[in-house]
């Protein structure tokens, strides 16, 4: 058995493994959605901090909407990039395993 990067392989990719490599284990749209939802959970705490500290901006509605849009977009992009890198890394590991597998 070959063991590279935490993956075990007997030298052949099964149909299940091939399907996973094509789709990737980290679905980019799902991760973007999770990132934007996380932002919607974090932004209210930031505004509670503004209210408690007495540092309320002049136009609170514009401030809230701007931070919700910027936070959701930023975290969605961050989570998407991380999932794309993880998919790429998994494909790279699988290619290395396939190269090391003995031809039968």
Per residue in 2-29, pLDDT (tens digit) is: 444 444 545 554 544 554 545 567 788 8
In a domain, 43, yes or no: yes
Query: Would the pLDDT of 50 be above 60?
Result: yes
In a domain, 17, yes or no: no
What region, left, alpha or beta, does residue 18 occupy, with left being phi > 0 and alpha being psi -120 to 50 degrees?
alpha
Query: Would the pLDDT of 41 be above 70?
Result: yes
In a domain, 6, yes or no: no
Give 9's strand partners.
Answer: 2
The DSSP letter of residue 6 is T
Contacts of 63 (CB under 8 A, 6+ apart): 57
Roughly what angle, to the nearest 10 degrees, separates helices 15-23 and 60-100? 140
Specify the number of domains making up the chain. Answer: 1
2, 8 in Cβ contact below 8 A?
yes
Q: By residue range, what is the domain housing residue 99?
A: 29-104
Average pLDDT over residues 81-94: 86
């Amino acid at each position: 058995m070959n063991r590279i990067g935490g993956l075990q392989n007997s030298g052949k990719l099964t149909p299940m493994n091939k399907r996973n490599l094509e789709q990737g284990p980290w679905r980019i749209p799902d991760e973007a959605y999770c990132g934007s939802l996380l932002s919607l959970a974090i932004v209210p705490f930031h505004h509670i901090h503004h209210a408690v500290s007495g540092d309320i901006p002049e136009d609170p509605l514009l401030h809230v909407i701007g931070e919700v849009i910027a936070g959701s977009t930023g975290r969605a992009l961050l989570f998407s990039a991380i999932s794309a890198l993880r998919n790429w890394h998994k494909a790279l590991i699988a290619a290395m395993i396939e190269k090391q597998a003995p031809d039968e």
